[in-house]
Structure 1
């Protein structure tokens, strides 16, 4: 019996596995996570180098200048946004992996659904509309310059001025972090997310400003928001990776 006592004590302290429960498979989680940096890298290359949407071209231009812009960048706009339309599903995967870890929080699922809904709705005006506007603008080279100016304004205003959807998503994300007791994400990331909300609010004047810091290419409406978003995104990607590493192998699948 003395020889068996250490074995009995070790088994007594082992947690009992519920019948039918299987360890959480994380291979799919890591696959989705790998897509996140790849998608945002491709997104940046398309918008900066090919479509010429970042940094945004000037709003205080006339139809002749806008026509020249589209004539000069016709091929790269078509290539860039064609690629975007093929890979834009990566945005859903990127948001989905955030929602997955948000649902692991003790705060419940409400914040996760707010984030998912806000980001899904925001992707339409904040990403796809500018792509369709620019693709339509270069589709027919002989299109009326006034119509090109309309597509130009509509695309860039939607891209920089899609405010409420993302604001709602960021609020849901920040509140979930603040109320979480499982420390899936650090609390200071919630405060960085609040700055995302601030930059969205400060971008509101893009609809009335054609020059200066509050125009769609201005230092406040665009550049400050872009810097904050870039820092926030790097933090989110970093802590998504850490959240996956810390997830217990035996954690049951989410409902």
Structure 2
């Protein structure tokens, strides 16, 4: 069933919403990054080999920052869904419908914000009564936090893979995304994969604070989260131009 230009909102608003949504993912990354690195100081990650006493002292010292970070994230992280939907919508143009790649992007995108939310609930619970809790219990909760936060990044690998495949199968004369963006997504999937090994290492590059498990993925994510909104804006422009030229229905 189609909704033509005579029904529903003015077409221009649909593109305005997409453009705003394209930048929402960057906004989430910027705010969460500032909060994690400066306010709660959960990044850079603490040393996995810290003693239970050291973990407790860290939680007590950063209690306020951790709790306020969770408050801020509660308002900011849901904006990620606008970014996910806009990315999926543009992938839908490539598959010319809600295909396997697009739906996989939707599902992994829906799960992705939980990778921020759920770990923060754990570390907030630890910090909430940190002075009253046994050090060993707090150490356990901090382990759960980093296992969920750093290790969860592996799920994002699938999201990058399907987006990369979609980019490369686009056979339009003027592709929606440039081919280099497809390769960037494959690189992202590779550099995020070492996060799956943090469960067996307490030191070195594959520990949760290591070069391969944290620092390289963190930098790669920054590049991806800057490049993607820019390319989405261009994709929205091309969609608008295509619709104006062909006078296609708003929804198909």
Classify the TM-score, shorter chain: 0.7 to 0.9
**Cα 1:204–1:41, aligned 2, differ >3 Å: closer, same or farther?**
same
1:194 aligns with 2:183: no
Q: Contact conserved, 1:107 with 1:176, CA < 8 A, in 2?
A: no
Match of 2:5 among 11, 18, 21: 21
Match for residue 69 of structure 1 among 51, 58, 61: 58
1:169 equivalent in structure 2: 159
Question: Which residue does the alignment assign to 1:81?
Answer: 70
With 165-174 and 69-78 compared, the bigger mean Cα shift is at 165-174
Query: 1:237 corresponds to which residue?
Result: 229
Question: Is the contact between residue 177 and residue 186 of structure 1 (CA under 8 Å) also seen in structure 2?
Answer: yes
Q: Alignment partner for residue 31 of structure 2, among 31, 36, 42?
A: 42
Q: TM-score, normalised by structure 1?
A: 0.86
| Rg comparison, structure with higher value | 1
Give the alignment of 1:82-231 within 5 angstroms: 82-106=71-95, 108-109=97-98, 110-124=100-114, 126-140=115-129, 141-182=131-172, 183-231=175-223
> Matched residues in 2 for 1:133 and 1:177: separation?
37
Q: Partners in 2 of 1:34 and 1:225 — Cα distance? A: 21
Alpha-carbon distance in structure 2 between the residues aligned to 1:169 and 1:212: 27
- Show structure 1 runs of 5+ residues with no match: 1-17
> How many angstroms does 1:148 deviate by?
0.5
Pairwise CA distance, 1:78: 1.0
Matched, 1:32 2:8: no
Three-state SS of the structure 2 residue aligned to 1:104 is helix
- Measured against aligned partners, the alpha-carbon deviations of 1:60-88 in whole angstroms (never above 9, x if no partner) come to 11110000000110111111111101222
Distance 1:211 1:107 in 2: 47
C-alpha deviation, 1:163, in angstroms? 4.3
Question: Contact 1:106–1:181 (CA<8 Å) still a contact in 2?
Answer: no
Q: Secondary structure at the match of 1:203?
A: helix
1:108 Cα shift?
4.2
- Between the two proteins, the alignment pairs up a number of residues equal to 237
Is structure 2 residue 251 aligned with structure 1 residue 254?
Answer: yes
TM-score scaled by structure 2?
0.87
Check 1:101–1:149 CA distance in 2 against 1; reply closer, same or farther (3 A cut): same
Contact 1:32 1:94 in 2 (8 A): yes
Supply the RMSD in Å over aligned alpha carbons.
2.0
Distance of 1:220 and 1:136 partners within structure 2 = 28
1:111 deviates by 1.3
Deviations 1:85-110 (A, max 9, x none): 12221111121111121112146432
